[in-house]
Structure 1
Amino acid sequence: MKNRYDEKEAQAFVGAYSNCPRELALRVYTSRLLGAEEDLVLHGGGNTSVKCTITNLVGEAQEILYIKGSGWDLGVIAPQGFPGLDLAYLRKLRQVGELSDAEMVNQFRTHLLDAGSPNPSIETLVHAFLPQRFIDHTHADAIVTLTNREEAEKHLHAALGDNIGILPFIMPGLPLALAMAELHERNPGIDCIILKNHGIFTFGEDAKTAYDRMIECVSRAEAYLAKRAAGATASPVVDPGVVQPSVVLPILRGGLSFIEESGRRRTMQLAVRRNQEIIAALARPDAKELFVGGVLTPDHVIRTKNYPLWLEAAGLDEEETKAAVQSGLARYQEEYDQYFAAQTEAKRVARTKLDSLPRIVLVPGLGVVAAGFTGKDAGIAADIAEHTIAAKLLGAPLGPYRELGQDAIFDMEYWALEQAKLGKAKPKLLEGRTALVTGGGGAIAMGIGRKLLEAGARVFMTDINQERLETVCHNLADTFGSRMVSPLLMDVTSEEAVQLGLEQLVMQCGGLDILVPNAGIAHVAKLADLSEAAFRQVMDVNCMGVFQVIKGAIPIFKRQGTGGSIVINSSKNVFAPGASFGAYSASKAGAHQLGKIAALELAEFGVRVNMINADAIFDDGGVSSGLWDVVGPERMRSRNLDPEGLKDYYRQRNLLKTTVHADHVGNAVVFFASEQTPTTGATLPVDGGIMAAFPR
């Protein structure tokens, strides 16, 4: 592992954070260096600290421990991510003998320098009891790989030498802090302390020394593993056969959903990893034995559960795949329930059981499939799974894998302080749902996408115009993040293009819950002047496009078996057509009728189909409406109006005398998509009240 410490960069951090102690600025710098290495920490893992002396409010010198706040990511941490605590008081806690989790947190909170600071790391006492000024802790893959093998201590000493301390796994808290302090006091000259099945602590009197020792120890462990791997006999690869992702993933995603006590269905996002290394690893004859084992470090269990599900789907047809998924998930859930029951009984504790579904599924021929209630959760689980496979593969030549006992895993999985890292916010209305919005480069799509994202959905926007599509997606991503919204170039008039786009969507998140056919174009001409080519083009996009995306989505809905929602953006023109607007009005009426037919045909699968009739939405956030780009100039000329005058004309003609915004359409889509009422086949006007367009 490369040592990335640079003295000029370090001093730049000192200058940038001149309003805090110099040592803290350097602490931020080396923490970010550690956090940038995925082989050291993943998604908030690890922690770092520094001890400083400050002058407090009453002019007294006071020793302070600055330690990473719980939940902060070392890769982007700033000084405010290091809550400061009264170090002298923390050291006195060595005398108390016992300290409950609640009391430990209370002691931390009541001895902060700033009451508004984040909660300190749950390993604060370890950092307080060790004497060095700078302490670094990571879950380095190479170190943990060595600790999870038979004869772990032999391998650790062979890799790192004898000037190290080793402890068995101990839950974070006072017992671990005491054990670490006592070990160091017996061996004051050691370079590091390794906690089996967990990670490594290095330390020093300055930031560079602690960091250098971490990189050196990890580099030695990596070199030791690489040398053993180079001398091992290469494993043969067995061709698992053909796996159909477009079949397997929606079926699996449906199986990973469940109904809560409230009656609400929870669905998950999937993340697929299938690079050459993963495909080859899962194709080994011993792959199941190698990879269906416990986590590398118990910190991962809240993200991935302890075990992955092994699913063989190669060569299976759709019904066989469904049976394999159902039996595999049933077996996994039964084993998880048995584990939960056994642990609560043995420990004589009462806990609220988490769902018993896997978060990692290993599918030979397909790759790693990770699940999470949000795309971020699924991505984190996938990252951990990818590192776990690589680590277990690299450690295989050292002998059998020795996972941590289930009693310790249970303690970590159901530890309130660990679960707090995931947050306890109430799930958003559409959390876990995936939406596809066609016509994604226009103003109405912007409002629909924004409201779906606010409700927690993962959103794919499609359009044939790449520039307009990217503009909308970038605008939405600036607010909601690139993980939540993705562009898909798609020609909705082409069956092949729609099929390809849906396959890409399924590969990215596993399936589809909400389909919003929104793509539309306009053409202004009286029937006498309307060319056949223009009429066909409008019908192809506005009517055939709706048909193509609905037809393409039906197999996904069926395979998932979790219902779904189709919300067609029709138009006020369905009920109140306009002169010189025959192609548009006819195409929208056709799409509207298709929606009603779809409502009739898809109800047996739990798919609801509803329509929204919107009117007079000109733009949104600088993105224009393609329809009004075409229609607007003619309407302004005929009424002798400027753009603002035209908007006011349409505002004044509706009963409520109001401006209709794209967000209003988005709100209507979310209402239907969230299934708050048992409604299908309905039409909801979003037009301010146009009497001639009342549904009838």
Structure 2
Amino acid sequence: MIDTVPFDAAVFGQTFTLRKSGEEGGSPMLIANPRLASLWDDGRAEAMSEPEKLLYRSNLLGSDKRITNYGGGNTSAKVMQPDPLTGEEAEVLWVKGSGGDVGSIKMDGFATLYMDKLRALKGKYRGVEFEDEMVGFLPHCTFNLNPRAASIDTPLHAYVPKKHVDHMHPDAIIAIAASKNSKELTQRIFGDEIGWLPWKKPGYELGLWLEKFCLENPEAKGVVLESHGLFTWADDAKECYELTLEIINKAIAFFEEETAGKTIFGGAVCESLGKDERRKVAAALMPAIRGMVSGLQPMVGNFNDSETVLEFVNSADLRPLAALGTSCPDHFLRTKICPLVVDFDPAKGNLDEVLAGLPAQVEAYRDGYAAYYDRCKHEDSPALRDPNAVVYLVPGVGMITFAKDKATARISGEFYVNAINVMRGASTVSEYCGLPEQEAFDIEYWLLEEAKLQRMPKPKSLAGKVALVTGGAGGIGAATAQRYLSEGACVVLADINADALETTLEALAGKYSRDVVRTVEMNVTDEAAVDAAYADAVVEYGGIDILVSNAGIASSAPVEETSLELWNKNMSILSTGYFLVSRAAFKLMRVQGMGGSIVFVASKNGLAASPNASAYCTAKASEIHLARCLALEGAEAGIRVNVVNPDAVLRGSKIWEGEWLEQRASTYKTDKEGLEEMYRNRSMLKRNVLPEDIAEAAYFFASEKSAKSTGNILNVDAGNQQSFPR
């Protein structure tokens, strides 16, 4: 049985006493989800080959987080296939390859290996001290030159003497596996149908343990692995799938019955703030934390204030349970050794005090993590990695997670929700046990895991950066957003046109995923709307690194026909609006302490006068001078401010629709069809200027390529002598 090892750093928790189930002062346990229902369609599966049934089964299992978390679990099938050289039938193991996700896996996500060669590997095994070297032999077992790398779990599937094997990480099963008396609970719930094995790090030795268990217990249909998960097996694909559901449902039913009416997590000791207040606190905390944890690379945040999270962060047992860390290796690798509990008191609303104390809390966590590394490291351990927490728990507010990108931050939060569910179940029916410290370290700093990290591609140039683009639904705004997304940034599109925002969102999210694109309706002339939009952006991603101030209008009229209303409208949007969004960006960037880049999309008309456009030209000139002033103020904080001056970007531009197009065509005595050609011929280079050209300039100023540039103007106008900066 596993003993938990308390961490000696205060931030990791001290020695705590957990309340027993049923004590007064708690809230009732959240009702479990309905039972898992079989989604297997016999008609659909009838014509499938065995590998296709494996794919079908895998996708069904991965479609429900009650069965397994993202990227977690493995599935396999042993299939007879003709050898590509001899033509003779060979037994082939199809098993989820390294790094895949069963919910989204395709056929090319499975590794294929000769079973006879996998069995022959037993002759190469030199014992548990050398089990990691067995991974190097797996490529020698590859069937049909399949390039998909086999995972460390391959032996766990290969040596189970059944055709089909599922390895899942259901919360309900891990709650059993992470209980102090997990062996007894397994026997009590499943009898002899499901066995139990003590904790063992995934690898070759565990594969041999599973084989031994199967041979000694031929009637067993699966096994619970302590602190890990569930294995089930059968000789038919559908039977294996439905067996997995049946076992999980038994565990769900057990917890429903055993936890009914009992106090959960020692009961609530604080109440949640209202939703708007929770987001307000998160918006204040996230940029401050982000600035502290982005020393090695920019981090992206995620906020979760679901009922499950709030029940945990409001509870009496929050700190002692959080200090124990997670149990399942998949949970642990995503969420680190343990979370940081932020010292916020929702009853006192002590946000200013918390913000003042955050640097000390974060530093204490780093010191605790470094001490953990020093206690557990081996001679050949990889160097200390980022010592900052991934998960931040805020009483009354929710959970914040930070990672290198939005998807990882979101998924890390999902894994910690899995961990909360596990802790709820285990601590209510028994005593929850996290992984022992040394075991946790040996997984986190596993040399095989380090090798996988070293093989990861180099981050893109804007990885971890967050950009807010005003006028984001227009041609230049959308093109700029796409350029940033292509370089790994997250983008918040801000615009006053809700319909256009939705259209742009669908196009960009379809290409880059919804994780990395958000929208917010924002009137840049409304101070409250600007502040609210920034708060929303911060809660979505943790902060802002890049502002592209691009919202605009255009008007054309002789000065005597220019009304005060028209004049004020130009100044309000093109001058005051740029001031408001820049001021908000400055405030946020100073809190983060990470520098930043502000890009004004102005106009050639800000430098070169144009007839019948005095309001527009003056407002654009105001933008340019504002940028120069801000460049002076922002330099000491590493905030760069630069200007891109387009000219005659007609395609996809919202301001060239309607009156402005008609007015400029009239000014230059041409029709709207000939206006673009007129602008092209007017340019020195005789070329059209497109939204993508402006986007490239905006990327230059946002990237490290322009790290030593501020207060500059880049004309993208195909050449116009009048607008040469002087």
**TM-score, normalised via structure 1 length:** 0.93
1:338, distance to aligned residue in structure 2 (A): 1.3
Is the alpha carbon distance of 1:118 and 1:375 closer, same or farther for their aligned partners in structure 2, counting shifts above 3 Å?
same
1:463, distance to aligned residue in structure 2 (A): 0.7
* Contact 1:444–1:625 under 8 Å retained in 2: no
Matches within 5 A, 1:156-171: 156-171=186-201
Residue 291 of structure 2 is aligned to residue 254 of structure 1:
yes
User: In 1, Cα distance between the equivalents of 2:436 and 2:288?
Assistant: 32
Residue 671 of structure 2 is aligned to residue 671 of structure 1:
no
* Contact 1:237–1:280 under 8 Å retained in 2: no
Q: Give the letter for the 2:509 counterpart.
A: A
User: In 1, Cα distance between the equivalents of 2:326 and 2:493?
Assistant: 36
Q: Give the letter for the 1:285 counterpart.
A: A
* Contact 1:616–1:660 under 8 Å retained in 2: yes
Q: Give the letter for the 1:323 counterpart.
A: A
* Contact 1:248–1:313 under 8 Å retained in 2: no
User: In 2, Cα distance between the equivalents of 1:578 and 1:331?
Assistant: 60
Number of the residue aligned with 2:392: 361
User: In 2, Cα distance between the equivalents of 1:84 and 1:642?
Assistant: 65
Is the alpha carbon distance of 1:299 and 1:277 closer, same or farther for their aligned partners in structure 2, counting shifts above 3 Å?
closer
The alignment partner of 2:675 has SS state of helix
Aligned with residue 161 of structure 2, among 121, 131, 138: 131
Is the alpha carbon distance of 1:232 and 1:421 closer, same or farther for their aligned partners in structure 2, counting shifts above 3 Å?
farther
* Contact 2:282–2:303 under 8 Å retained in 1: no
Number of the residue aligned with 1:520: 552
1:13, distance to aligned residue in structure 2 (A): 4.0
* Contact 2:599–2:644 under 8 Å retained in 1: yes
* Contact 2:642–2:711 under 8 Å retained in 1: yes
* Contact 1:368–1:385 under 8 Å retained in 2: no
Aligned with residue 378 of structure 1, among 406, 409, 429: 409
Q: Give the letter for the 2:105 counterpart.
A: I
* Contact 1:70–1:119 under 8 Å retained in 2: yes
User: In 2, Cα distance between the equivalents of 1:72 and 1:317?
Assistant: 43
Residue 220 of structure 2 is aligned to residue 190 of structure 1:
yes
* Contact 2:74–2:166 under 8 Å retained in 1: yes
Number of the residue aligned with 1:554: 586
Q: Give the letter for the 1:252 counterpart.
A: I
Report the aligned-residue RMSD: 2.1
Q: Give the letter for the 1:661 counterpart.
A: L
Gaps of 5+ in 1: 261-265
Is the alpha carbon distance of 1:31 and 1:4 closer, same or farther for their aligned partners in structure 2, counting shifts above 3 Å?
farther
Number of the residue aligned with 1:415: 446
* Contact 2:66–2:170 under 8 Å retained in 1: yes
Residue 148 of structure 2 is aligned to residue 118 of structure 1:
yes
Number of the residue aligned with 1:348: 379
Number of the residue aligned with 1:272: 303
Range with bigger deviation, 34-43 or 601-610: 601-610
The alignment partner of 1:609 has SS state of strand
* Contact 2:641–2:711 under 8 Å retained in 1: yes
Matches within 5 A, 1:597-612: 597-612=629-644
The alignment partner of 1:285 has SS state of coil
Number of the residue aligned with 1:175: 205
Residue 74 of structure 2 is aligned to residue 47 of structure 1:
yes
Aligned with residue 463 of structure 1, among 477, 486, 495: 495
Is the alpha carbon distance of 1:669 and 1:321 closer, same or farther for their aligned partners in structure 2, counting shifts above 3 Å?
farther
Range with bigger deviation, 117-126 or 638-647: 638-647
Residue by residue, what CA displacement relative to the aligned partner does 1:306-336 show, whole Å, maximum 9, x if unpaired?
A: 2111111334666533332111111111111
Aligned with residue 572 of structure 1, among 592, 604, 612: 604
Range with bigger deviation, 364-373 or 658-667: 658-667
Residue 254 of structure 2 is aligned to residue 233 of structure 1:
no
Number of the residue aligned with 2:358: 325
1:175, distance to aligned residue in structure 2 (A): 0.8
The alignment partner of 1:75 has SS state of coil
Q: Give the letter for the 1:489 counterpart.
A: E
Matches within 5 A, 1:84-123: 84-98=112-126, 103-123=133-153
Is the alpha carbon distance of 1:10 and 1:410 closer, same or farther for their aligned partners in structure 2, counting shifts above 3 Å?
farther
Range with bigger deviation, 432-441 or 210-219: 210-219
Residue by residue, what CA displacement relative to the aligned partner does 1:377-424 show, whole Å, maximum 9, x if unpaired?
A: 101111111221122123222233211112221221122444566661
User: In 2, Cα distance between the equivalents of 1:628 and 1:87?
Assistant: 66
User: In 1, Cα distance between the equivalents of 2:522 and 2:396?
Assistant: 28
Range with bigger deviation, 323-332 or 230-239: 230-239
Number of the residue aligned with 2:512: 480
Q: Give the letter for the 1:358 counterpart.
A: A
Is the alpha carbon distance of 1:126 and 1:245 closer, same or farther for their aligned partners in structure 2, counting shifts above 3 Å?
closer
The alignment partner of 1:292 has SS state of helix
Number of the residue aligned with 2:687: 658
* Contact 1:278–1:368 under 8 Å retained in 2: yes
User: In 1, Cα distance between the equivalents of 2:409 and 2:39?
Assistant: 35
Is the alpha carbon distance of 1:216 and 1:11 closer, same or farther for their aligned partners in structure 2, counting shifts above 3 Å?
same
Q: Give the letter for the 1:76 counterpart.
A: S
Number of the residue aligned with 2:371: 338
Q: Give the letter for the 1:582 counterpart.
A: S
* Contact 1:83–1:120 under 8 Å retained in 2: yes
1:494, distance to aligned residue in structure 2 (A): 0.5
Aligned-pair identity (%): 33
User: In 2, Cα distance between the equivalents of 1:512 and 1:14?
Assistant: 52
Is the alpha carbon distance of 1:543 and 1:224 closer, same or farther for their aligned partners in structure 2, counting shifts above 3 Å?
same
User: In 2, Cα distance between the equivalents of 1:115 and 1:324?
Assistant: 57
* Contact 1:311–1:324 under 8 Å retained in 2: no
* Contact 2:589–2:595 under 8 Å retained in 1: yes
Is the alpha carbon distance of 1:276 and 1:106 closer, same or farther for their aligned partners in structure 2, counting shifts above 3 Å?
closer
The alignment partner of 2:120 has SS state of helix
1:102, distance to aligned residue in structure 2 (A): 6.8
Is the alpha carbon distance of 1:595 and 1:432 closer, same or farther for their aligned partners in structure 2, counting shifts above 3 Å?
same
Number of the residue aligned with 1:396: 427
* Contact 1:247–1:559 under 8 Å retained in 2: no
Residue by residue, what CA displacement relative to the aligned partner does 1:90-145 show, whole Å, maximum 9, x if unpaired?
A: 11212322385775344322322232431123211121111100000001111111
Number of the residue aligned with 1:263: none
Number of the residue aligned with 2:237: 207
The alignment partner of 2:55 has SS state of helix
* Contact 2:175–2:421 under 8 Å retained in 1: no
Number of the residue aligned with 2:342: 311
Residue 104 of structure 2 is aligned to residue 76 of structure 1:
yes
1:206, distance to aligned residue in structure 2 (A): 0.3
User: In 2, Cα distance between the equivalents of 1:221 and 1:318?
Assistant: 41
Residue 612 of structure 2 is aligned to residue 584 of structure 1:
no
The alignment partner of 1:370 has SS state of strand
User: In 2, Cα distance between the equivalents of 1:440 and 1:454?
Assistant: 16
Q: Give the letter for the 1:604 counterpart.
A: E
Residue by residue, what CA displacement relative to the aligned partner does 1:193-242 show, whole Å, maximum 9, x if unpaired?
A: 12111111000010122122211221121222222211423624424777
1:506, distance to aligned residue in structure 2 (A): 1.3
User: In 1, Cα distance between the equivalents of 2:433 and 2:503?
Assistant: 51
User: In 1, Cα distance between the equivalents of 2:687 and 2:374?
Assistant: 59
User: In 2, Cα distance between the equivalents of 1:581 and 1:69?
Assistant: 62
Is the alpha carbon distance of 1:688 and 1:269 closer, same or farther for their aligned partners in structure 2, counting shifts above 3 Å?
same
Number of the residue aligned with 1:66: 94
User: In 1, Cα distance between the equivalents of 2:669 and 2:628?
Assistant: 39
Residue 720 of structure 2 is aligned to residue 690 of structure 1:
yes
The alignment partner of 2:324 has SS state of coil
* Contact 2:270–2:396 under 8 Å retained in 1: no
1:4, distance to aligned residue in structure 2 (A): 3.6
The alignment partner of 2:514 has SS state of coil
